[in-house]
Amino acid sequence: MEMANMHPAEGRTTRRCFLGHTVTAAASLAAASALSASGGCQSAASSSPRTTRRSLGHGDVVLFQGDSITDAGRDRGQESKPNHVRALGDGYAFLIAAQLLAERPDAGLKVYNRGISGHKVFQLAERWDKDCLTLKPNLVSILIGVNDIWHTLNGNYQGTVDIYERAYRALLERTRRELPDVKLVICEPFVLRCGAVDDKWFPEFDRYRAAAQRVAQDFHTVFVPFQSMFDDAVQQAPPAYWAADGVHPTMAGAGRMAAAWLEVVAGAKA
């Protein structure tokens, strides 16, 4: 854990709620729903200095990164085209993009999805130049971690939570070094207890979640608490309603993720 004592965000402002009031309408969806239990604009670093809200500027680039949950069947042949419906897949990234583009016609946003099915955090690092840095994103939203544990459970990977956390920190450090003004959003890895997800995932999975939150806290990024959102959701419908195999969201699950992301990132209630 040689990077654990670094203070990468020292001297930087905490970036939270940077979409500003102009997406309040979108966020009100979540605000008025059960999702509001998770609170308004949420940062993992509640004790860190707050900044003035910053709206995304004209022509800003928004990048979704992650594994199959982000990938969601996107057409990789179209990935160089911003705001291309096929290039965004049919998961939470698409739902968020459609809502942002509908509500922010003034912003000229360019939204990309570069999630790749099966990937773990070290694989994001391997393709980070091509699939992040060269795009010069203004906002990068990352959801990664479920394969870092899943592939150890099925014997296809020898990783540990420490390896996950170190690689995640190195990735963010590199991102901030290359893109000093980038806004970072870390999404909490989540599972539903059904399908492929059984008792053998726990409590180890909770350690991966905690690591992601720790990284978000230390880097003062926005943190989207998907697991606690889904923990609330299973009070309303069975786990399989939200993710049939316990890992990949249904449309309903993706809908809740989009609402939670918009709520947290847009920060309507902050």
For 157, half-sphere exposure in the C-beta direction (CA atoms, 13 angstrom radius) is 20
Polymer length in residues for the chain: 270
* Binding map of a copy of itself across residues 66-105, x = CB under 8 A, - = no contact: -------x---------x-xx-x-x---xx-xxx-xxx-x
Q: Judged by CB under 8 A, which of 15, 119, 120, 256 binds a copy of itself?
A: 256
Q: Judged by CB under 8 A, which of 3, 12, 20, 25 binds a copy of itself?
A: 25
Cβ proximity to a copy of itself, 189 vs 253, nearer residue: 253
Closest CA to 176 of 213, 210, 221: 221
E-only strand ranges, the chain: 61-66, 110-113, 139-143, 183-187, 222-224
**From edge to edge, which strands make up the β-sheet containing 61-66?**
110-113, 61-66, 139-143, 183-187, 222-224
Q: Which stretch binds a copy of itself (CB under 8 A): 12-20, 113-121, 133-141, 235-243?
A: 235-243
Count, residues near a copy of itself per rule CB under 8 A: 38
* Binding map of a copy of itself across residues 130-169, x = CB under 8 A, - = no contact: ----------------------------------------
Q: Work out the end-to-end distance of the chain between its first and last CA atoms, rounded to an integer number of angstroms.
A: 34
Q: Judged by CB under 8 A, which of 20, 24, 153, 207 binds a copy of itself?
A: 24
